[in-house]
Amino acid sequence: MKAWLIAAIVFALPSTPLLAAPLYKCIANGAVTYSDTPCRGATRQARLDSRTRSRPTPPPVVTPTPIPAPETTGALEVYVSSYNKSAVASASVDGGLIRQGWKDIETTAGVYSWQKIDDEIKKYVDAKKKFSLALIAGPSTPAFYKTGTTVSFTHRDKQQTMPVPWDTTYLGGLSKLMQEAGKRYGSHASLRLVYVPQISLNGIEGSLPATTSPSWSEVGYTSAQHANAVLEMAEVTKSAFPNTRVAVELHEVLRSTEQPKLVLAGLDPDKFGIGIWWLGQATYQTALQTEIKAWTGPKFMQAIGAAAKEPHASYGYRLTDYSGTPWGIDGIRQHTIDLGGEYIELWPVDATTYTSKIANW
């Protein structure tokens, strides 16, 4: 074949093909490289989502072209756990989390109001930042979906009621909510991540209140039944947001790792991520941490507390390392890396207090 024809074919090839496999950003001795396999000898690495990331065309120099947004600050994507204008304006912050209770969206069965979410999205878009989305179930489930089996419990001195995780009325209503949310936001260019709503104390995390009326045994609780309901809703959420990473938050349930292990076994790491909303306490849920480290999919973290406001006002805990020694904001970063995380949601006060530290993450 003529040399000029070969050259023409080569230059006609796409310059940034999407990867079929995960792409890793490796940082060693200040140098940045990219690899299809986990980094070796790197001081830091980040597993990049193959759907949203593309490998830069290798130029005839050592350092490749920078990876596009959403990552702007380092090996970790840094988001805030709720909107704060000063925090979001920081160049060290890539975006933030939007939370909205289900009962505040669907005030009448089948009628949805998205205005509050739209208003929050506009704040991030105006700041040229990304947003993640968490629609809250659990106690925020509308009353008209609490007609099946429910449990009641007290949390922070407030009596609350929610369906059992496998209740078909609840699952049917939540499926419709996520489908409608997907129609509205699924193609939004600034959407980074969607969390799977769950039956739990706060409607996103995987934990259950230990003491309920009736008790969990009285309503026929099993880890398998619970895990199957979570996996069903994960598939529904992914179907509603096929082009967005979807994450399931994991907790030990009723002081056992049985349920989260079943969830992990049922999640396809190429389709789903997992959430860890208790980051920064390395002595907490240590058995589950072992399972999380072994899982190969992407991991999305949220700090359990603010390093700038320790001890925690409600619970009195501190961010501590594996020996129980306080480790503050540096510990949040280290724990993220130890668990293999690529994304961290900080409390806004930490994003504004430790701007220079976060810039180097």
* Domain residue ranges in the chain: 14-68, 69-358
Confidence of residue 155 (pLDDT cuts 50, 70, 90): confident
Does residue 82 contact residue 352 with C-beta atoms inside 8 Å? no
pLDDT of 285 over the 80 cut: yes
Query: Which of 102, 93, 61, 99 is CA-nearest to residue 74?
Result: 93
Q: 49 pLDDT exceeds 90? A: no
Q: What are phi and psi of 67, to 5 degrees?
A: -70, 140
Q: Evaluate if residue 7 carries a pLDDT over 80.
A: no
pLDDT at residue 246 is higher than 90: yes
Task: Give 123's pLDDT tier (boundaries 50, 70, 90).
Answer: very high
pLDDT digits (tens, 9 = 90+) for 71-86: 344 489 999 999 999 9
Determine how many CB atoms are found less than 10 A away from the CB of residue 24: 19
Q: How confident is the model over 60-75, as a mean pLDDT?
A: 41
Residue tagged 């805990």 (tokens): 317
Query: Please, which residues have CB within 8 angstroms of residue 126's CB and are 6 or more apart in sequence?
Result: none
Q: Flag the least confident range among 12-26, 162-176, 215-229, 341-355.
A: 12-26
State the Cα–Cα distance between residues 255 and 210, nearest whole angstrom.
9
Instruction: Please state whether the peptide bond connecting residue 311 to the residue before it is cis, i.e. omega within 30 degrees of 0.
Output: yes
pLDDT value, residue 313: 62
Q: Is 128 left (phi over 0), alpha (psi -120 to 50) or beta?
A: left
Choose between 157 and 224: higher pLDDT: 224
Greater model confidence, 11 or 163: 163
Identify the pLDDT of residue 63: 35
Q: Which residues contact 166 (CB under 8 A, 6 or more apart)?
A: 225, 226, 228, 229
Tens digits of residue pLDDT in 262-280: 999 999 999 999 999 999 9
Provide DSSP, 232-286: HHHHHHHHHSTTSEEEEE---BTTBSHHHHHHHHHS-TTTEEEEEEEETBTTSSH
Q: Which CATH superfamily is domain 69-358 in?
A: Glycosidases (3.20.20.80)
Q: How far apart are CA 195 and CA 268, in angstroms?
A: 15
Q: What angle do CA 165, 299, 38 make, to 5 degrees?
A: 145
Mean pLDDT, rounded, for 87-113: 98
- Would you tell me how many other CB atoms lie within 10 Å of the CB of residue 119? 11
- DSSP element (H, E) containing 343: strand 343-346
